[in-house]
Amino acid sequence: MINKGDKIPEVNLVKATADGPEQVASSDYFAGKKVALFSVPGAFTPTCSAKHLPGYVEKAAELKAKGVDEIACTAVNDAFVMGAWNNAAGSEDITMLADGNGEFAKAVGLTMDGSGFGMGTRGQRFSMIVNDGVVEEVNVEAPGDFKVSAAEYMLDQL
């Protein structure tokens, strides 16, 4: 599992934009800025939609006031689903980074088996503060929990 002080691994993600999916290398995306990154098991899933994404939407200005340049959400979903979820429940303050093949989740060592729910391999629920590609904080939830990956918890870390 990725730890504080580790560099974000080199993988390709797909950024959901108004103009459609845009390929982005993790090294390029995280370079030169402080990113509040949170990962959800799936767009449109109950806790993710009712609590996780709304918390970051609500606290976006406070996160940015504490030095965060960008807020990003990742999930093992395609860019079209991530874009639709952001349009339905997110905001322009959140960048959706699709990890459609689960390569990012695997590279950071934070996958989970959601096959019992028909979801296959997914990313765990977690958050990170990444500064110029280096992990400053990493918060991984216990299965079924929603505490340490919340926007409020991250605000206390900044």
Judge whether 58 lies within some domain: yes
Say what the pTM is.
Answer: 0.95
Judge whether 115 lies within some domain: yes
Q: How many domains does the chain have?
A: 1
Judge whether 1 lies within some domain: no
Tell me the sheet residues that pair with 102.
none
Q: In the numeric block, which tokens belong to residue 66?
A: 């504490």
Judge whether 129 lies within some domain: yes
The residues carrying an active-site annotation are 48
Q: What integer pLDDT is reported at residue 102 of this predicted model?
A: 97
Judge whether 32 lies within some domain: yes
- For tokens 């322009």, the residue is 92
Q: What is the mean pLDDT of each run of 10 residues along the chain (158 residues)?
A: 98 95 97 98 89 96 98 97 95 96 97 88 96 98 94 97
The amino acid at 116: G
The amino acid at 64: K
| Residue 91's CATH number | 3.40.30.10
Judge whether 5 lies within some domain: no
Judge whether 87 lies within some domain: yes
Residue 148: domain span: 12-157
CB atoms within 10 A of CB 10: 11
The dihedral over CA atoms of 30, 149, 56, 58, expressed in degrees to the nearest 10, equals: -150
